[in-house]
Amino acid sequence: MNWVLIALLGVPLAGAAALLAPFRRDTAAGGRLLQTHALAVSGVTFALSVVLAAGFDYGDAARVQFSTDLAWVPGLDLRFHLGVDGISLPLVVLTTLLVFLCSVYLCWGRADGPGQLLRPKTGGNRPRALVFTLLVLEVGMIGTFLALDLLLFFVFFEVVLIPMYFVIAVWGGHARRAAAIKFILYTLLGSVVLLLGLLLIWAQTGTLDMIALARAHGTGMSSSAQVLAFIAVGIGLAVKTPMWPLHTWLPAAHTEAPTVGSVLLAGVLLKMGTYGFARIAIPVLPDGAAAMAPWLGAFAVIGIIYGSLACLAQRDLKRMIAYSSIGHMGFVLLGFATLTPVGVNGALFGNIAHGLITALLFFIAGAIKDRYGTTDMPSLGGGMLSRLPHLGSLLTFAAVASLGMPGLAGFWGEMLALLGAYGPAAGLSRPLYLTFMALGGLGTVLTAAYFLLMLSRVTHGRSVETVHAPVLAAVGGGGGGRRPGTVLRVGIARVRDVTGYELAAWVPLIALILLLGLWPKTLLLVTGPVVRTLLGAP
Amino acid sequence: MIQSIDYYAVAPLLVLVLTAGAVLLLDAFLPRRPYARPLLGAVTLTGVLGALGVVAAQAVRDGDPMRTFCVPAGLPGPARAGIGALDVGTLGSGPGGPGGAASALCSFVVDDFTLVFAGLALAAGVVVVLLSMAELSAGDVPVGEWYFLLLCTLVGAVALPASRDLVMLVVALELVSLPVFALTALRRYDGRSSEAAVKLFLVSVVSTAVMLFGVSLLYGMTGTVYLDRLAQVLRGPVAEPMAISGPDAYASVLQITYDLPPVLIVAMVLVIAGFGFKVAAVPFHAWAGDVYQGAPIPVAALLSVISKAAGFAGLILILVAALRGQIAVWAPLVAIIAALTMTVGNLLALRQRHAVRLLAWSSVAQSGYILAPLGVRDDEAVSASIAYLVFYAAMNLGAFAVVMLVSRRGARGGLDDYRGLAFRNPAAGLALAFFLICLAGLPPGLAGLFAKVVVFRELVDGGGAWLALVMAANTVVGLYYYVAWAARIFTPVPVTEGAGAPATAGGAPAGAGVPSAVGEVPAGADVTSAVAGRTGGGRAGWVPVGVAIVLAGVVAVVFSIAPQVVLDLLPEGLIASG
């Protein structure tokens, strides 16, 4: 029993439960209290994860630390088994950080910016429900990364579905209902298939303990059963990741979700899928992984190329970032598919880097939407660097980080994944993986192409005077009402550049992107030992 | 011969029967005063709780299962053999009696299996009585008859799982079914109710006839009505009589094709079909929608939980206790029915706009999930079915209780009545959302999730992979309508333009995205007027419904946090022999 992990789950849960207590709403004091509450709870959770990171024994990162193991449902062999090791620790910290930054984004300052959904609004935008949903979401995300029992993992994996559904369906854009339903149906379909795979593992080995299963390295399971289980588990995780043919829920969900929803979706939820590959699919089912790795690699490479080409065709900025996620997750999957320590390390690195960079991109896209009322690139016009120099430069920075510029975080994941593909694990066809590598390399070029194209369309050039419903401009007037469809002619001066609350939420991300880009060893040293253990390599 | 009766074993039945008699007497002799209605309800509730207490006392007591209504094995009975190969006399004396219990044949056995089902029926009975109090407070339904019939149904539901012979099984099942027709029809002024009652009556009578035919074939073949003896006789693949007679080519072909007399297969199919009607399994499901919608809501709740549990108890008793030797024959059949049931039920539920109808079809789908483990050739599959049934009962009763509450305010019962429920009545809204999410099987409704995990586990473990895949797809379909309903609860009602309009954040484009949203605006206005019109029922009916919701809610939350409670209840090993 370890208090840190329990508290990591307990604090957001208690924070959410406290919101159920009745108190007077729609008052200024109530709103203030709610903001403080959100900041405090997510801040304490983040602080706990920092405590966890500080107390972690980095010399022995492969060992599961802070372990807590309690019986929950003996009839199902379900144990409340939590712990962290080198691959879950960075993800836990990333999760708490992003939730905290989302709270900062929502609550900073007077909290009346257009992206700040907690501000009181006529008709109510239900700020309390939003904070409640985000905190429950946080419980599910942290729990997924901490769980060391297959069924417990599954339970937490499912916990995020309903809150995310409501985040999209209630606070989303115009087509939010359809997007939310698509999201939940798709991911649930993946989840049930995942459950079948997990139960198959359980039926074959008789245990749900991930540590024991990883240590056994597939002994006790026949090869064919492993392949079957890998397919089921893999499909379940691939929907979440998302992998190429199963990705179609992602663009709609991302486009419609509010900024904080997109940030958490891209920053953390997608990682739950890839984390599952590293934690369950590959170590527990080595034979299955070896048999299916070429397929995984092929789908990953198709995803990279497909995502990049789709990005080139997008007009909507948020949609483009969503498709770019498919490409980036393709690199992550390619890294896993190599089954080598280098590749898997690259995948895990790319995972974290993608979480940071795409979160930043979605934050900025949300800010653009708040200012221009649209993220449609032709309508944005261009010339952002001259009109909103700070926002324009931040967009440039995030885009350059995302396309994999050396020196920024995005580079290492892709480079290591491609390097892994150059020398795949024994038993895998090298020519095939060389092809994958070549195609992946082509993908990096295409990625650079669409990001640069986007920048040239949006940040460069001359700004157009027509601006669609500049919401932020109206904030100073105190009205805050959004008038969709109205096209206003406004002067450049009336649109505000980056505001305090935005900067507060973005600076930590920028710093981390620089840190990981310039000093990748910080992360690789943590994940490296675990990856070697999980792959059974010496 | 004089039978000795173990009165403790039948005590729950006696309590219920005596209460039923008391209710009739009180109804006849009490003055027609306002307090008479709640008083009769209270008496009924006390009776059901008393029976539940006795069941609980029986459950905590250790020791062998209680048996009563026994005949000694040596009793000269009608030991005539139906078919030459199935001679009861020789087979009965074989070493088949488990644990030497073959010494006596008993019709009434109280074991873990019995207690789980009896407890389930009585606990559900408590909720149904509470809902009835609200239903009857309006004052246009005869009270005494209602409670009497309700108690009779409960007697049947408690007696059925204890039955260990075919005759008692059929009688108990009829005791469950017959009062329900009358209960459905008691709202005499309502055309829908009468239609529902007639439909239910016809379907039920037909299913009874079909089942009786199957039962009589079983009896005719084996010469015994005791499930235990049936199991001994039909222990293994029974050889076709012709195949034994001569080793010619024709017979050997027959032997390969029919390992047992075809008449046994016919009997099994008929029995399964009969019970299929009772549990509304596809293709015997068509009555569910109209009957649930037409019946008063407490009766619909009763049909969906008590009546269904009784049907499953009977099905499990016949299939597992009597026909377990023939599992290779009936398991695939049950598996196919289960797959069809969940698929058709879910597809029908998808398009419903009426709350009770949606629950009707969704409970058909849930029947499929309950049936699924029985389709696996595995002895322990039964406990997965029972576990699912217990979880399902709590969730479904809760949903019905909230529907009852809402239907008191808006008469139409459409799903649009639930728009904004979370704002009008946060407790009821949250409770309904929780029950629906439970039924869908997602966190935070962990009860439903664990129920599904139990079933999935049994399917994967027992080799029913294709059935597991069908069920997986169905879970997703089911999620769609449950979540769509749950989302409605949290959608504000667009009452008037002005204050309400911004709530739908850019109303016009949102409406364009979801075409139905435009049509729902007048519906919302309609609801408010309906609410205003129907508040005449008084607040008296609220309290029992509230208690019912709280009860179901607490149980569902406990099941979510500690599902082990249910798993501990399950009978260990097989059903005790009679």
- Residues A299 and A310: their CA atoms lie apart, in Å, by 16
Residues of B in contact with A177 (CB under 8 A): 487, 510, 513-514
In a mutagenesis test of the A interface, which of B386, B459, B460, B569 is the best target, namely the one with the most A β-carbons within 10 Å?
B460
Residues of A in contact with B510 (CB under 8 A): 174, 176-177
For B228-243, b where at least 16 C-beta lie within 10 A, e where not — what string? bbbbbbbeeebbbeeb
Give chain A's mean pLDDT.
84
Residues of A in contact with B513 (CB under 8 A): 174-178
Nearest to A274 by CA among A240, A301, A304, A249: A240
Determine the distance from the C-alpha atom of residue A303 to the mean position of all C-alpha atoms in its chain, rounded to a whole number.
Answer: 17
Low-confidence residues in chain B, pLDDT < 70: 1-2, 73-103, 236-260, 379, 409-411, 494-541, 572-578
- Residues B482 and B403: their CA atoms lie apart, in Å, by 14
Inside any domain, residue A8: yes
| Shortest Cα–Cα distance, B503 to chain A (Å) | 5
Q: Do A195 and B509 touch (CB under 8 A)?
A: no
Residues of B in contact with A482 (CB under 8 A): 506
Q: What is the number of structural domains in chain B?
A: 1
In a mutagenesis test of the A interface, which of B350, B483, B490, B558 is the best target, namely the one with the most A β-carbons within 10 Å?
B483
In a mutagenesis test of the A interface, which of B391, B419, B439, B457 is the best target, namely the one with the most A β-carbons within 10 Å?
B457
Report pLDDT digits (tens) over A260-275.
889 999 889 999 999 9
Residues of B in contact with A155 (CB under 8 A): 443, 446, 449
**CB under 8 Å to A434, separation ≥6 — which residues?**
A421, A422
In which domain, by residue range, is A232 found? 3-475+485-535
At residue A120, the pLDDT reads 58
Q: Determine phi and psi for B137, rounding to 5 degrees.
A: -65, -20
A341 and A62 in contact (C-beta within 8 Å)? no
Residues 462-481, chain A, touching B (beta carbon < 8 A): 481
In a mutagenesis test of the B interface, which of A117, A181, A194, A196 is the best target, namely the one with the most B β-carbons within 10 Å?
A196
Q: Which of A75, A162, A196 sits opposite B437 (nearest CB)?
A: A162
Q: Do A76 and B453 touch (CB under 8 A)?
A: yes
Inside any domain, residue B62: yes
**CB under 8 Å to B555, separation ≥6 — which residues?**
B123, B394, B398
Dihedral sign of CA atoms A170, A174, A177, A181 in order:
negative
Q: Which of B437, B461, B487 sits opposite A169 (nearest CB)?
A: B487
Q: Give the rounded percent of residues in chain A with a pLDDT score beyond 90.
A: 29
A-to-B residue pairs, Cβ atoms closer than 8 angstroms: 118
Q: Do B568 and A482 touch (CB under 8 A)?
A: no
Residue A128 has pLDDT above 70, yes or no: yes
Residues of A in contact with B500 (CB under 8 A): 123
Report pLDDT digits (tens) over A454-491.
888 888 877 665 555 444 444 433 334 444 444 444 44
A80 and A68 in contact (C-beta within 8 Å)? yes
For B42-72, b where at least 16 C-beta lie within 10 A, e where not — what string? ebbbebbbbbbebbeebeeeeeebbbbbbee
Inside any domain, residue B246: yes
| Shortest Cα–Cα distance, A519 to chain B (Å) | 40
Nearest to A502 by CA among A324, A367, A332: A367
At residue B299, the pLDDT reads 92
- Residues A160 and A139: their CA atoms lie apart, in Å, by 8
User: Per this entry, what is the length of chain A?
Assistant: 538
At residue A124, the pLDDT reads 57
A177 touches chain B (CB under 8 A): yes
At residue A299, the pLDDT reads 93
Report pLDDT digits (tens) over B12-27.
999 999 999 999 999 8
Residue of A nearest to B449 (CA): A155
Residue of A nearest to B569 (CA): A75
| Shortest Cα–Cα distance, A95 to chain B (Å) | 20
Q: Do B444 and A159 touch (CB under 8 A)?
A: yes
Residue A302 has pLDDT above 90, yes or no: yes
- Residues B75 and B91: their CA atoms lie apart, in Å, by 16
Taking residues A234-241, report their average pLDDT. 91
- Residues B367 and B352: their CA atoms lie apart, in Å, by 18
Residues of B in contact with A168 (CB under 8 A): none
Residue of A nearest to B572 (CA): A75
**Residue A489 forms beta bridges with which residues?**
A466
In a mutagenesis test of the A interface, which of B425, B435, B458, B476 is the best target, namely the one with the most A β-carbons within 10 Å?
B476
A496 and A353 in contact (C-beta within 8 Å)? no
In which domain, by residue range, is B442 found? 11-491+541-569
Q: Do B443 and A162 touch (CB under 8 A)?
A: yes
Q: What is the number of structural domains in chain A?
A: 1
Residues 297-336, chain A, touching B (beta carbon < 8 A): none
Inside any domain, residue B574: no
| Shortest Cα–Cα distance, A162 to chain B (Å) | 8
CA distances from B147 to B24, B51, B118, B301 (A): 8, 15, 19, 15
Residue of A nearest to B492 (CA): A123
A31 touches chain B (CB under 8 A): no
A169 touches chain B (CB under 8 A): yes
Inside any domain, residue B508: no
Inside any domain, residue B577: no
Inside any domain, residue A220: yes
Residue of B nearest to A204 (CA): B461
At residue A26, the pLDDT reads 57
At residue A434, the pLDDT reads 92
Q: Which of B460, B506, B510 sits opposite A196 (nearest CB)?
A: B460
Nearest to B306 by CA among B171, B440, B435, B151: B151
In a mutagenesis test of the B interface, which of A152, A177, A272 is the best target, namely the one with the most B β-carbons within 10 Å?
A177
Inside any domain, residue A480: no
Q: Which of B446, B461, B490 sits opposite A203 (nearest CB)?
A: B461
- Residues B214 and B170: their CA atoms lie apart, in Å, by 11
Inside any domain, residue B513: no
Q: Do B490 and A177 touch (CB under 8 A)?
A: no
| Shortest Cα–Cα distance, A253 to chain B (Å) | 15
A194 touches chain B (CB under 8 A): no
Inside any domain, residue A26: yes
Inside any domain, residue B295: yes
Q: Do A174 and B513 touch (CB under 8 A)?
A: yes
**CB under 8 Å to A353, separation ≥6 — which residues?**
A409, A410, A412, A413, A513, A516
Give the strand pairing for A65-73 and A78-84: antiparallel
Q: Do B446 and A155 touch (CB under 8 A)?
A: yes
Residues of A in contact with B563 (CB under 8 A): 73, 75-76
Residues of B in contact with A166 (CB under 8 A): 487, 490
| Shortest Cα–Cα distance, A236 to chain B (Å) | 12
At residue A366, the pLDDT reads 87
Preceding omega of B444 cis (within 30 degrees of 0): yes
| Shortest Cα–Cα distance, B55 to chain A (Å) | 23
A142 touches chain B (CB under 8 A): no
Nearest to A273 by CA among A165, A144, A415, A411: A144
Q: Which of A74, A159, A193 sits opposite B443 (nearest CB)?
A: A159
Q: Do A196 and B468 touch (CB under 8 A)?
A: yes
Band of pLDDT at residue A495, cut at 50, 70 and 90: low
Q: Do B514 and A177 touch (CB under 8 A)?
A: yes
